[in-house]
Amino acid sequence: MDEPLTGAARERRRAVVADLGTALRELVDAAVRTEVDEAELAAVEAVIREQTARLRAVSRELTGIASVDDPEIGERWYSPVYGPGNPLAPPLELTHSADGRVSARVTVGKAHEGPPGLVHGGVIATLLDHVLARAPRSAGHGGLTGSLTVRFRRPVPLGMPLVLEAHLVSAEGRRATARATLAAAADPGTPLAEGEALLVALRAERAAEVFAPTGRSVAAWTARATD
């Protein structure tokens, strides 16, 4: 099922993938919060292993790109940051403009906890990394993260609606820099964390080499990428 889909067929599959992703996120949340007894845990484990076997009946290789994805524009349905089908994703909801600015909203739950009641610092860095990369891409500058600096200003509570804002600072050749903030939706003017990144676009020939194992054309991380 790793052949690319288009049109109505892709939209139908995306809808089902998203529904399964939502159910699995609910399962993950229940699993990391449950205090049921050991017998119930064992019973649930047996059921989950049965369902896992059903999903594994037809699988992609590790380098395979999902049939619902569009790697030409960087649309990843199983992204661990925003992918509707990925139970690890919070998921982040993002909007962008053509001038190198993006805005995003997310609420992080128990599965991404670090210190008790707080979002793990690595998750905060991941969220910032994503919007920092998307800001240059929205202005036509694809790239991979070359460096990432994160400043943690205040603890970030679980379950609190958050907003992220990122913007392109400069772009020259294959290099672009961007800055971003993460704040509470109720107080967007007070940053809880800030990030800055250097994004380096791959040359077309290098991208072809790096992504060759996927067997697909991947353009979103090259110098000519558009979103």
Is there a single domain that holds both residue 135 and residue 202? yes
Do 97 and 41 share a structural domain?
Answer: no
The Cα-based distances of 59 to 32, 54, 65 in angstroms read 26, 10, 11
For residues 99 and 49, membership in a common domain is answered with: no
Mean pLDDT, to the nearest integer, of 171-183? 96
Parent domain of 116: 93-214
- Considering the domain boundaries, does residue 82 fall inside one? no
pLDDT for 8-41, tens place per residue? 999 999 999 999 999 999 999 999 999 999 999 9
User: CATH no. for residue 107?
Assistant: 3.10.129.10
Cβ–Cβ < 8 Å for 67, 2: yes
Percent of the chain with pLDDT over 90: 85
pLDDT, position 74 = 85
Instruction: Check pLDDT > 90 for residue 96.
Output: no
The chain-wide mean pLDDT, for the chain, equals: 94
Whether 26 is in a domain gets the answer yes
Task: Check whether residue 40 and residue 133 sit in a common domain.
Answer: no
Residue 134 has pLDDT above 50, yes or no: yes
Q: Is the pLDDT of residue 2 over 70?
A: no
The number of domains in the chain is 2
Residue among 159, 164, 196 nearest 183 (CA) = 164
Nearest to 163 by CA among 64, 67, 95: 95
Q: How confident is the model at residue 150 (pLDDT cuts 50, 70, 90)?
A: very high
